[in-house]
Amino acid sequence: MSLPYPPRSAYYDGKLQSASSTSSFQTIDPATAKPLANIHTTSQSGIDAAVASAKKAFPAWSATPHIERARILQKAAAILRARNDELAKVETHDTGKAFSETSTVDVVTGADVLEYFANMVGGGGLNGETIQLRPNAWVYTTKNALGVCAGIGAWNYPIQIALWKSAPCLAAGNTMVYKPSEFTPLHSTLLAEIYAEAGVPPGVFNVVQGGGDVGAYLTKHPDVAKVSFTGQVSTGQKVAGSAAGGMKYVTMELGGKSACIILPDADIDQAVDGAMMANFFSTGQVCTNGTRVFVPQSIKAAFEKKLLDKVKHIRAGDVSDPNTNFGPLVSKPHYEKVLSYIKHGIQVDKATLLCGGPEKPAWLSSHKNKDYQNGYWVTPTIFTDCTDNMRIVQEEIFGPVMSLLSYADNDIASLIARANNTDVGLAAGVFTKNLNLAHQVIGQLEAGITWINTWGESPAEMSVGGWKLSGVGVENGRKGLEAWVKNKSTLVDMGGEVPTVFAKL
Ligand code: NAD
């Protein structure tokens, strides 16, 4: 059967490679459950070859003048922008996310970060410092590229994740071997070709294909100096553990169960919009989702009513239609996982179902594309009267499932304690007109990414990373570049003052 996309395999030495193993898998269109392309799993010798290609390219790339590296990466950002809609279409096929999202967020935010880091290194971002110790002695520091780095991606923002890892990595002078999620691999070799077209030399950005075993082999490869990982907490723990054995640098961008706090004086329409964004954007498949929505008792009824009105404006359906703003879940296993949480919420947690549920969405039966009935479609679901110990409140569902938790208006201290009562600490947010109170609350929340009166925006300038089990390190912003260099400090003494502990007594 001919598939919509040509087969994908590894990419290294500046070109697409032929299959290096007999094993392969298919990537599936989540809207219809139909296959999109065959993907050849990269064998261990193929991974070795990709790492060798990156190792060979490292000396010249790391020695390339910053301004020249910047120019090449800026060109890649321009190509990404020029091909935005074509790449967004691929992402929509692969992830199921509506084109209205992928064409305005996924490629754009990836290209922004590439441009940001290119400009940063072109503008002196890799300069070290000079510290004058005394008139004839000083310390100078240099920022040095790490070497071959591994990037391992999740499926929810495929090209964005690939760019958020490779942009600072390459800008800092490293080379990369990138493994996309096996559920969404289509963007990976397209990105490699765009880098090549922009002038990135062969071996600087490479791709291997496959699942957890490919990621695990890459992580423990002795020639890999750093692993930047995005995925679940449980996988991140394995990856960080394996990398620790080789004393490798790591960045871990992991899951969350973030608190979206509505304070009693909040503008209720703004707060409802925030809660909608924090739960239903990307069909709830956003790591920073604010799935625990804390609502004061005084406005709970009004908040629920407005939420129900808003949910009616979610437009699921043809993912390529620019008016659609809600797609299917990414894969069959993920669909089954989300449905099992919804059923658990009803049957075991006994939360009150405000809307949605585990049934197939009603619109599916009359949709013009009959294949959609096989897709991984769910209905936006809201539970209310939830309590802190329910499983749906404690565990990351990663789907369009909101839990409403109420609190006594005057008890902000226990509200904060409840918001922090979780092992993860990725994001949090507060809605209020009282900005003093907003800063006080934000200051006490245990999360690395926080918002006041908005939700979800993550511009290139903003460093993002989780606290607690949600991760280690940050991506983006000025600190994002530091994650891809190692420091060397040199003390120069022009007075010839060698310590004399070994002088003759
Ligand atoms: P996952 O952990 O299942 O897989 C992530 C990647 O790890 C995939 O490429 C997978 O093949 C690979 N992998 C699996 N086992 C491995 C192993 N032992 N060694 C090395 N690699 C291995 O995660 P997922 O389901 O793809 O993504 C969803 C998760 O990602 C959610 O928890 C979400 O919160 C998180 N996420 C976090 C951020 C962030 O910035 N913090 C961003 C996006 C997604």
Establish whether residue 216 lines the binding site of ligand 1, counting it when its CB lies within 6 angstroms of any ligand atom. Answer: yes
To test ligand 1's pocket by mutation, which of 44, 94, 152 has the most ligand atoms within 8 angstroms of CB?
A: 152
- Same-domain check for residues 167 and 55: yes
Same domain, 237 and 349: no
Nearest residue to 464 via CA among 113, 145, 105 = 113
Determine the distance separating the centroid of ligand 1 and the alpha carbon of 28, expressed in angstroms. Answer: 18
* Test site for ligand 1: of 184, 218, 230, most ligand atoms within 8 A of the Cβ: 230
Does 348 fall in a domain?
A: yes
Assess whether 247 and 134 both reside in one domain. Answer: yes
Here the CATH number for the domain that contains residue 436 is 3.40.309.10
Both tokens assigned to 216: 């695990």
Q: Are residues 234 and 294 in the same domain?
A: no
Q: Say yes or no: 406 and 485 in one domain.
A: no
Bridge-based pairing of strands 148-152 and 175-179 is parallel
Predicted confidence at residue 427, as pLDDT, reads 98
Residue with the larger pLDDT of the pair 21 and 309: 309
Q: Residue 500: inside a domain, yes or no? A: no
425 lines ligand 1 (CB under 6 A): no
Res 503 pLDDT > 80 = no
For atom 14 of ligand 1, the residue with the nearest CA is 212
Tell me, yes or no, if the pTM score tops 0.95.
yes
Ligand 1 atom with least separation from CA of 475: 40
- Verify that 173 and 285 share a domain, yes or no: no
Looking at the structure, do residues 194 and 284 belong to the same domain, yes or no? no
Same domain, 382 and 479: no
Name which of 247, 200, 131 is nearest 486 in CA terms: 247
155 lines ligand 1 (CB under 6 A): yes
Whether 457 is a known active-site residue: answer no
* Residue 331 Cβ < 6 Å to ligand 1: no
pLDDT in tens, 151-208: 999 999 999 999 999 999 999 999 999 999 999 999 999 999 999 999 999 999 999 9
* CA pair distance 471, 465, nearest whole angstrom: 7
Q: Is the distance from the beta carbon of residue 230 to the nearest atom of ligand 1 less than 6 Å?
A: yes
Residue to probe by mutation, ligand 1, list 39, 42, 156, 283, most atoms within 8 Å of CB: 156
Q: Is the pLDDT of residue 33 over 90?
A: yes
**Based on the domain organization, do 136 and 171 belong to the same domain?**
yes
User: CB-based contacts of 334: which residues, under 8 Å, 6+ apart?
Assistant: 183, 285, 376, 398, 399
pLDDT band for position 416 (50/70/90)? Answer: very high
Return the structure tokens found at 409: 């208006």
- The verdict on the CB of residue 61 being under 6 Å from ligand 1 is no
> Cβ(158) to ligand 1 under 6 A?
no
Q: CATH no. for residue 196?
A: 3.40.605.10
List Cβ neighbours of 500 (8 Å cut-off, separation of 6 or more): none
Would you say the CB of residue 41 lies under 6 angstroms from ligand 1?
Answer: no
For residue 380, is pLDDT > 70?
yes
Nearest ligand 1 atom, CA 256: 34
Query: If you take atom 1 of ligand 1, which residue's CA is the nearest one?
Result: 231
Say whether both 229 and 317 belong to one domain: no
List the one residue out of 392, 388, 279 whose CA is nearest residue 338. 392
Distances (CA, A) of 174 to 46, 179, 308, 443: 20, 16, 49, 36
Q: Is 170 among the domain residues? A: yes
Domain membership flag for residue 354? yes
Mean pLDDT for the chain?
97
d(CA 98, CA 88): 9
Q: Based on the domain organization, do 475 and 357 belong to the same domain? A: no
Please give the distance, rounded to the nearest whole angstrom, from the Cα atom of residue 152 to the centre of ligand 1.
8
Domain count, the chain: 2
Task: Decide if pLDDT at 21 tops 90.
Answer: no
| Span from the CA of 302 to the centroid of ligand 1 (angstroms) | 37
Q: Is 241 in the pocket of ligand 1 (CB under 6 A)?
A: no
pLDDT of residue 260: 98
pLDDT tens digits for 291-328?
Answer: 999 999 999 999 999 999 999 999 999 999 999 999 99
pLDDT at 505: 65
Residue nearest to ligand 1 atom 9, measured at CA: 181
In a domain, 390, yes or no: yes
For every residue of 131-157, DSSP letters joined together read EEEETTEEEEEEEEE-SEEEEE--SSS
Nearest CA to ligand 1 atom 12: 212
For residue 218, give the ligand 1 atom closest to its CA. 20
Please state the φ and ψ torsions of residue 485, each to the nearest 5 degrees: -135, 160
Q: Is the pLDDT of residue 455 over 80?
A: yes
Domain range enclosing 29: 11-254+470-489
pLDDT digits (tens, 9 = 90+) for 458-490: 999 999 999 999 999 999 999 999 999 999 999
- Residues 419, 396 contacting (CB under 8 angstroms): no
pLDDT in tens, 40-72: 999 999 999 999 999 999 999 999 999 999 999
Residue 24 inside a domain? The answer is yes
Q: Are residues 403 and 269 part of one domain?
A: yes
More confident call, 2 vs 254 = 254
461 domain residue, yes or no: no
Q: Which amino acid is at 386?
A: C
Residue with CA nearest ligand 1 atom 19 = 216
Gap from CA of 180 to ligand 1 centroid (Å):
10
Catalytically annotated residue among 115, 253, 396, 475: 253
Residue to mutate (ligand 1; options 42, 95, 181; most atoms within 8 A of CB): 181
In a domain, 180, yes or no: yes
Ligand 1 centroid – CA 412 distance (Å): 34
